[in-house]
């Protein structure tokens, strides 16, 4: 059902478990034979309260790079 589709893991966590969650999502994408889009770092941010994501400059930069990479990849996959 998802074979050949493009996916990107995006994780937001308070503290622990973000890298494991990121990996687990990518494992699922691999088993489903999906094309995985990546960024310049793990697609995750650390946050506790609403609005905290906007304070994570590194996370925002990673998501912006992911968006650019996703746009390029989707053009190539068409």
Say if CB 19 and CB 43 are below 8 A apart.
no
What does the pLDDT read at residue 9?
97
What does the pLDDT look like over 39-77, one tens digit per residue? Answer: 999 999 988 888 888 899 999 999 999 999 999 999 999
Say if residue 28's pLDDT is above 90: yes
What does the pLDDT read at residue 24?
97
Structure tokens at 52: 């905290």
What does the pLDDT look like over 1-26, one tens digit per residue? Answer: 999 999 999 999 888 889 999 999 99
pTM of the entire structure?
0.87
- Alpha helices by DSSP H, 1-78: 18-31, 57-77
Domain range list for the chain: 6-77
């Amino acid at each position: 059902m998802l074979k050949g589709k493009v996916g990107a893991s995006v994780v937001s966590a308070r503290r622990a478990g973000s890298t494991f969650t990121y990996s687990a999502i990518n494992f699922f994408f691999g088993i489903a034979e999906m094309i995985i889009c990546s960024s310049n770092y793990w697609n995750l941010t650390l946050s506790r309260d609403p609005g905290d994501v906007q304070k994570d400059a590194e996370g925002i930069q990673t998501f912006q790079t992911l968006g650019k990479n996703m746009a390029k990849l989707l053009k190539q996959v068409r």
